[in-house]
Chain A
Amino acid sequence: MICVRSARHMEHRKFADFYKAYLDKIYRYVFFRVGCKRETAEDITSDIFIKALANFESYDPTRGAGWIFTIARNTVINFWRDKYGREIAIEEIEDKEMFSSNGIRALEAFDDKRQLMEALSVLPKEKRELVTKKYIDGYSYADLAEMYKKEAGALKVAAHRALKEVKARLKHTADRI
């Protein structure tokens, strides 16, 4: 009996650690893909963690953040599919909600953040995606390496170079002002 209880206690703690590790990342992931609307982000994040809890048995910690981010991505896609009444890809959602003029306008109150998103929006798509995943969504290089099927070292160099481009574009904007 004690063994069973201890095992369950371990599960409870495991989920608590999982929650602590991923809540911020998942919330942020959702927040930027629902037009920076807090209430919507909170509702969707809740759904994501309820689904994660219900399926926690299938979670393999050695596989990193991919599992929970896949749930998050599919939940966001479902949200927009219900809204638009058609199938929609995550890239289209990101283009519309994060990097379009509407998405950037959602950050109007935070001027330097808006500039940052503007600088990011004009980067080539592949670089933009990498920087977004690393520096906004908070994926680790290990997760990215698995996702892109590339060496972490190559991704780090690519991210570093993309970041330099963002920096140059921000500087260019600042000089113009």
Chain B
Amino acid sequence: MFVRLKFRQLRKMAAPRPEFRHALWTRLTREMETMPNVLQSRRMTGRILRVLRYAAVPVVVLVLAMGTGAYAYVNPEITYEHPLYQVKHAVEQVEGAFVLTPRARARFETKMMARRVLELETIVSRGKSDGRASDEIARAHEQAISAAAEVKSEAVRDAVIARIEENADRHVKVLEAIEARAPEEAEKTLEQVIERQEQVLERRLEHVDALREEQVARQLERIEKLEALRDQAFAAKEAREEAIENEEIEAGEGDPPPLSSPFPKGGGSEGGGSVTRESPGLSPDSPSRPLPDSVPAAHE
């Protein structure tokens, strides 16, 4: 039973009608035209940007011709922290521009995802970890799923999705390794990863007609696994903070406070300890505070 899926269906049920969406936007556009601070759109900026974008193509071709691009392209050691990473990225974009059919697009995007996972493995093998590589994987994952959903042949689609799942599972394995090595550092990374993986889930749900139910469910299971991992890391952090707190209390009991101050170490904060941690209990002030004005000020 997937509660998140039910919530998603509930949200979908409560989505605005397309006619309403369009009608409201038309009304707002009319309002904008009559307002002094908003004018009709001008296309000059867009045109300039488009010209600049086309100008970037010869630059990429030049880099390719020099051979640097080819070196960067094939090398998994070239990760995002490497100076040649932008070149690698540009070459991939050029390759992507020549992919025309949905089947080729799906294969290309899956290949990109596999490359990103390989890069993360390289980064972790160097003893580093942060959320950026996982962000890249999630982006590639989303694109690969969207591309796979466009493939007409069910057999090809299943084969592509099997590869996507394989890479996604490899990603989770790397994260498990990061969590095992340094749980406290991993907590933040895992939070970012879960957020991005929820976007991947949304993407899968968008294509729920093309994908089979278990192909959507795999992603839900993956998120639950990551959440359990994050909880584990969070518990480790809490335990460590508690240990520090206890140590400080013990130290405070052992040493008499200095003569100049009647307060123990860390005095000034309520409770006397220098380590303060908010409990996860919830008591937001804003929702319960009635606001008389309809529009809040920006500095609120």
Contacts and interface: CB of A to CB of B under 8 A. Distances in A.
Contacts, number: 187
B11 A138 contact: yes
Contacts of B282: 126-127, 129-130, 148, 150, 155, 158
A80 interface: no
Contact of A89 (B31, B284, B290, B293): B290
A160 B291 contact: no
Contacts of B294: 51, 71, 74-75, 78
Contacts of B10: 110, 113, 116-117, 136
Interface in A1-27: 2, 5-6, 8-13, 15, 19, 23-24, 27
Identify the interface centre among B7, B25, B194: most chain A CB within 10 Å of its CB: B7
Interface in A32-63: 32, 36, 38, 41-42, 45-46, 49-51, 53-55, 57-60, 63
B28 interface: yes
Contacts of A166: 3
Contact of B298 (A24, A41, A45, A67): A67
Q: Which 4 A-B pairs have the closest CB atoms?
A: A8-B39, A154-B280, A58-B298, A135-B7
A12 B41 contact: yes
A104 interface: no
A147 interface: yes
A160 B232 CA distance: 13
B9 A151 contact: no
Contacts of A12: 32, 38-41
Interface in A138-171: 138, 141, 147-158, 160, 163, 166-167, 170-171
B27 interface: yes
B6 A116 contact: yes
Interface in B251-300: 278, 280-288, 290-291, 293-298, 300
B66 interface: no
Contacts of A38: 17
A49 B24 contact: yes
Given A27-B16, A53-B31, A2 B44 contact: yes
A116 B7 contact: yes
B7 A147 contact: no
A131 B106 CA distance: 35
Given A113-B13, A147-B284, A155-B280, A46 B27 contact: yes
A112 interface: yes
17 contacts: A13-B41, A15-B38, A19-B25, A27-B14, A50-B27, A55-B295, A66-B296, A71-B296, A74-B294, A75-B294, A113-B10, A148-B283, A148-B284, A150-B278, A156-B227, A157-B234, A163-B3
B1 to A, nearest CB: 6
Interface of A: 2, 5-6, 8-13, 15, 19, 23-24, 27-28, 31-32, 36, 38, 41-42, 45-46, 49-51, 53-55, 57-60, 63, 66-67, 70-71, 73-75, 77-78, 87, 89-91, 110, 112-113, 116-117, 126-127, 129-130, 135-136, 138, 141, 147-158, 160, 163, 166-167, 170-171, 174
B13 A74 contact: no
B128 interface: no
A113 B6 contact: yes
Contact of A42 (B3, B16, B28): B16
A6 to B, nearest CB: 5
A45 B16 CA distance: 10
Nearest to B290: A89
Given A36-B14, A51-B294, A46 B24 contact: yes
B278 A70 contact: no
A151 B6 contact: no
A6 B20 CA distance: 29
A28 B281 CA distance: 26
B195 interface: yes
B21 interface: yes
B126 interface: no
Contact of A113 (B4, B9, B297): B9
Interface string B49-91: 0000000000000000000000000000000000000000000
A170 B284 CA distance: 27
A155 B173 CA distance: 25
